[in-house]
Amino acid sequence: MDFRDTPEGAEYRKKARAFLEQHAQLEPPDSGRGYRDGNDDPAALERAREWQRIKADAGYAGITWPREYAGQGGTTLEQIIYEQEEAQFDIPRGNFFYIGLGWAMPTLFQWSNKEEILKHAGKVLRGDEIWCQLFSEPAGGSDLAALRTKAVRDGDDWIINGQKIWTSGGQYSDFGILVARNDTTQAKHKGLTCFILDMKSPGVEVRPIRQMSGDSHFNEVFFDNVRIPDSRRLGEVGDGWKVAMTTLMNERYNLVELVPPDFEQIFHLAQNTVLESGPALDDPAIREKLADLYCRAQGMTYTNFRTMSALSQGKTPGPEVSIGKLVNSGRLQESADLGSDLFEQSGMLMEEDMPMRALFQRAYLYSPGWRLGGGTDEILRNTIAERVLGLPQDVRLDKGVAFKDIPTGPTGN
């Protein structure tokens, strides 16, 4: 039993670390870096692109991509090792490219052709082309497949009408993978088709959504008679759900990303806070809460070790991979709440001179989103119950019913 890297892994980590040390500084625990910090700065995209080019040149972009598509042909494990190392450094953040790199291109690898892929791969690798995902719709929510955006065949084209929501990076994307309904007389998961959409096509309109925190990290995208040539279809007509799922499986995996504050930050905060009774860290009630948060933080760290063990032995990771997002979004909200409570009346302050630039206060406002995006707490529990524990599905009223006949509101019931 050993959680050290394999010799090859250790070698890879050493090189990656050397690369990072050459180009960046370690990030201190009290930096106060929050979710998408700096992303809203107009210069952020340019900085991120610069960093992406450095990575691409050094072979740390597209680590798992096939070599024929300018990738490194590496393993998922190498990808994880690189990400673990990079997370410790103060590099330009922004997550402008991760949809293209981690979701869109892998979908194309499976469902598109070499010519099309080669048009994009190099640009995506270097941050010169940005992709977005056009799946979620206002009427969908957790019922992902309930989407209504229509695709109607017209000669060699398809004509798209409808609306998407929660499109991350929609405002600066060059392309998107769109799933639309081509047949409402089929059951919900049938009658869907996937396309590559050029975001600059006439009739595409992107509008930012303002989140409860006041930030705008997502968009609505409207389609008004948008034309897509049939050559940009991904998979067969009616196979849209299957195509969409390739990408979503990747998404579930990627979202296990940790968003600050993690345990290190709350511990640092408690260590540096003095209450009437003495240091916060010595108060038994706070100790109890910190111990519980630590158990979950370490539980996730070591669960990831188990996943990495499986990957390093060429095995499929076990069902424990499914717990990550549920555990992390819960402790994120709790940490944010606890951290802002530590200061009593002043815990409400969001000034820059608050500890860690009011990281806990900011996290209080963005943490609810993490319990929703990429599968709500409720959907994730359902998934664990059904896929891991093998419990029977809930009664499904929409199964095998033509999409147009599925009830969508109280009156239709």
Is 342 a binding residue for another protein by CB under 8 A? The answer is yes
Q: Give the pair of three-digit tokens for residue 200.
A: 């600059």
Q: How many residues bind its own copies (CB under 8 A)?
A: 10
Is 386 a binding residue for another protein by CB under 8 A? The answer is yes
- Name the nearest CA neighbour of 329 among 270, 373, 294: 373
Residues within window 286-325 making contact with its own copies, judged by CB under 8 A:
286-288
Residues within window 263-282 making contact with another protein, judged by CB under 8 A:
263-264, 267-268, 271, 273-276, 280-281
Distance, CA of 10 to CA of 5 (rounded, Å): 5
Is 168 a binding residue for another protein by CB under 8 A? The answer is no
One-letter amino acid of 21: E
Q: Give the pair of three-digit tokens for residue 219.
A: 């968009």
- Supply the minimum distance, in Å, between the C-beta of residue 10 and another protein: 10
Distance, CA of 329 to CA of 413 (rounded, Å): 34
- Residue 179 contacts residue 147 (beta carbons within 8 Å): yes
Piece of the chain touching another protein by CB under 8 A; list 20-28, 96-104, 167-175, 384-392: 384-392
Is 373 a binding residue for another protein by CB under 8 A? The answer is yes
CA distances for 20 relative to 49, 160, 191, angstroms: 16, 44, 47
Is 1 a binding residue for its own copies by CB under 8 A? The answer is no
- Supply the minimum distance, in Å, between the C-beta of residue 13 and another protein: 11
379 alpha-carbon distance from chain centroid: 16
Select the residue interacting with another protein from 256, 308, 332, 356 (CB under 8 A): 308
- Residue 64 contacts residue 76 (beta carbons within 8 Å): yes
Is 400 a binding residue for another protein by CB under 8 A? The answer is no
Tell me whether strands 131-134 and 175-181 are parallel, antiparallel or unpaired: parallel
Select the residue interacting with another protein from 355, 356, 359, 375 (CB under 8 A): 355
Piece of the chain touching another protein by CB under 8 A; list 58-66, 119-127, 139-147, 190-198: 139-147
Piece of the chain touching its own copies by CB under 8 A; list 187-195, 347-355, 373-381, 391-399: 391-399
Is 393 a binding residue for another protein by CB under 8 A? The answer is yes
Among its own copies, another protein, none, residue 348 binds (CB under 5-8 Å by kind): another protein
Query: Binding string, 253-282, against its own copies, x = CB under 8 A?
Result: ------------------------x-----
CA distances for 5 relative to 161, 189, 300, 316, angstroms: 50, 42, 18, 18
Piece of the chain touching another protein by CB under 8 A; list 46-54, 110-118, 147-155, 360-368: 360-368
Specify the residue, 43 or 397, whose C-beta has the smaller distance to another protein. Answer: 397
Q: Contacts for 304-313 with beta carbons within 8 Å, 24 or more apart?
A: 304/80, 304/256, 305/3, 308/77, 308/80, 309/3, 311/75, 311/76, 311/77, 311/80, 312/5, 312/6, 312/9, 312/77
Residues within window 164-203 making contact with its own copies, judged by CB under 8 A:
none
Identify each DSSP E strand in 83-141 by its residue range.
89-90, 131-134
Is 389 a binding residue for its own copies by CB under 8 A? The answer is no
Query: Binding string, 286-305, against another protein, x = CB under 8 A?
Result: -xx-xxx-xxx-xxxxxx-x
Can you give the binding site for its own copies, defined by CB under 8 A? 277, 283-288, 394-395, 397
